[in-house]
Amino acid sequence: MKPRIDDLDRKILREYLEDARLSCREVAKRLKISTATVLSRLRRLEGEGVIKGYSAILDHEKLDYTITAVTEIVFSGGRLLDIESEIAKYSNTLAVYDVTGETDAIVISKFKSMSELSAFTKRLLAIPSVERTNTHIVLTRVKEDFRIAP
């Protein structure tokens, strides 16, 4: 069942997208509502799976992950979703998308070195049903933010 999200929920979610460390009291103060309202809304949004967790947004480059790769994968045979789920568990993988078109999947990943990227690519190619990959290296990061305001 699709969660019911109203304007107040959206305002609360926007506050936490900007700073997940805010207390319920601070959000209530900013929105001019009661702390109990914020708390009950958060619990409902968490219970419905709208809020999956709270996390810090890291600058990967400052952690020496200076290489971003976008890899297209073409599969032959079945078990596509199972294999994509396994690729999603690789430590360098940020996102895996099952897509339409000539490519079956898109993988976004980050690396500290070309040798890490090379090992990752070879690991992908070693999967029996992977027919081929096409890796793009990101030259300039114009925008990288997976937060979407509700």
In this structure, the answer to whether residues 72 and 26 fall within a common structural domain is no
* Residue-level pLDDT at 75: 95
Q: CA-based Rg of the chain, rounded to a whole angstrom?
A: 20
* Residue-level pLDDT at 78: 77
* Residue-level pLDDT at 114: 98
Residue 34 belongs to what domain range?
7-47
Residue 13: closest CA among 3, 85, 75: 3
In this structure, the answer to whether residues 31 and 70 fall within a common structural domain is no
Q: Give the rounded percent of residues in the chain with a pLDDT score beyond 70.
A: 100
Which two three-digit tokens encode residue 125?
């190619």
Which two three-digit tokens encode residue 2?
């699709």
Q: Let me know if residue 2 belongs to a domain.
A: no
In this structure, the answer to whether residues 42 and 80 fall within a common structural domain is no
Q: Residue holding tokens 């994509």? A: 84
What is the average per-residue pLDDT within 92-97?
98
Q: Across the beta sheet with 67-75, what order do the strands follow?
A: 93-98, 105-111, 67-75, 130-137
- The string of DSSP letters for the chain reads ------HHHHHHHHHHHH-TT--HHHHHHHHTS-HHHHHHHHHHHHHTTS-----PPP-GGGGT--EEEEEEEEE-SS-HHHHHHHHHTSTTEEEEEE-SSS-SEEEEEEESSHHHHHHHHHHHHTSTTEEEEEEEE-S--S--------
What is the average per-residue pLDDT within 15-44?
96
Q: Let me know if residue 55 belongs to a domain.
A: no
Which pLDDT band, with edges at 50, 70 and 90, does 1 fall under? confident
What is the average per-residue pLDDT within 27-43?
97
What is the average per-residue pLDDT within 6-18?
96
Backbone angles phi, psi at 35, to 5 degrees: -60, -40
Q: Let me know if residue 101 belongs to a domain.
A: yes
Q: Let me know if residue 76 belongs to a domain.
A: yes
Residue 139 has pLDDT above 90, yes or no: yes
Count how many domains the chain has. Answer: 2
Q: Is the pTM of this model over 0.75?
A: yes
In this structure, the answer to whether residues 33 and 71 fall within a common structural domain is no
Q: Let me know if residue 146 belongs to a domain.
A: no
* Residue-level pLDDT at 6: 96
* Residue-level pLDDT at 32: 97
* Minimum mean pLDDT range among 51-55, 66-70, 99-103, 115-119: 51-55
**Mean of per-residue pLDDT scores for the chain:** 95
In this structure, the answer to whether residues 35 and 93 fall within a common structural domain is no
Q: State how far the Cα of 91 lies from the Cα of 60, in Å rounded to an integer.
A: 13
